[in-house]
Amino acid sequence: SKATLFDKGAKVNITFADVAGLDEAKVEVMEIVDFLKNPKKYTSLGGKIPKGALLVGPPGTGKTLLAKAMAGEAQVPFFSLSGSDFVEMFVGVGASRVRDLFKQAREKAPCIIFIDEIDAIGRARGRNAIMSNDERENTLNQLLVEMDGFGGDTGIIILAATNRPDVLDSALLRPGRFDRQISIDRPDVKGREAIFKVHLMPIKISETLDLHKLAEQTPGFAGADIANVCNEAALIAARKGKEAVDMSDFQDAIDRVIGGLEKKNKIIA
């Protein structure tokens, strides 16, 4: 995902139709979209609208995409930042960025704020971190202050993504903060088929292409890997001067992406 360094309340055109699979997660986020669209309906009986939700799942599974789709569906501006942007920042910059972001968000509410890789700033305080502890703590503290500083009726929903909910500071998970967790898992064969369908849309494919087979041949692939396969296959076929992308091109593309994934895993291990 690499959410852009600082999405300053951009309008988004992405909708749930762009997000394939993730049926259970979609049901949960639709509730949140409805909070943004019809806040009064929910507060009329004295209930408090949740401020934040955590999207939990491995890289490339569509967390950023889903967050953007929520903004698209609710037709509200989308603000984002990534926890990793705060790594190696000058003292005080992290906290002031957070303050700025919330200031702008309040001016444009209703809106969505998305914090990618929240674990980079939200690790339990006192544990070893990438950033100098003080600066990371300042940033995290500022985030907590901002979250507590507005009521649920302000129309700001804060979404945060992580694949390590276990390392998060418990302060973040308290009621009134990120008190909902939505899990975004790697797609099963049905999900992969749906993701292929979305990413094959712009591609000229041969009539003999077997979608189900492609899904079967890509166990463990995340949505981002599938998007990558579709693009690679189109380039491979084009390089060969073909009129349409066929099964053998996809085979080559899958092999190539598997090769890339293995390399990545080796580096991590």
User: Where does this chain bind ligand ATP (CB under 6 A)?
Assistant: 1, 19-22, 59-65, 116, 161, 195, 198, 223-224, 227
Q: Which is nearer to ligand ATP, 116 or 137 (CB)?
A: 116
> What is the smallest separation between the CB atom of 82 and ligand ATP, expressed in angstroms?
8
Q: Write down how long the chain is.
A: 269
> What is the smallest separation between the CB atom of 75 and ligand ATP, expressed in angstroms?
20
State phi, psi for 56 to the nearest 5 degrees: -115, 125
Q: Which is nearer to ligand ATP, 4 or 141 (CB)?
A: 4
Residue 31 CA to residue 20 CA, distance in Å, equals 18
> What is the smallest separation between the CB atom of 149 and ligand ATP, expressed in angstroms?
27
Q: Which is nearer to ligand ATP, 151 or 219 (CB)?
A: 219
Annotated binding site for ATP: 57-64
10 Å CB burial of residue 208 (0-12, 13-18, 19+) is exposed
Tokens matching residue 196? 């292929």
DSSP β-ladder status, 156-162 and 178-183: unpaired
Annotated binding site: 57-64
Q: Which is nearer to ligand ATP, 109 or 229 (CB)?
A: 229
Who contacts 137 (Cβ-Cβ below 8 Å, separation ≥6)?
Answer: 125
Pick the closest to residue 231 from 207, 249, 258, 247 (CA basis): 249
Whose CB is nearest to ligand ATP? Answer: 223
> What is the smallest separation between the CB atom of 17 and ligand ATP, expressed in angstroms?
10
Tokens matching residue 247? 């099964």
- Looking up tokens 């049926």 gives 23
> What is the smallest separation between the CB atom of 67 and ligand ATP, expressed in angstroms?
8
Tokens matching residue 219? 């166990």
Who contacts 128 (Cβ-Cβ below 8 Å, separation ≥6)?
Answer: none
Q: Which is nearer to ligand ATP, 198 or 247 (CB)?
A: 198
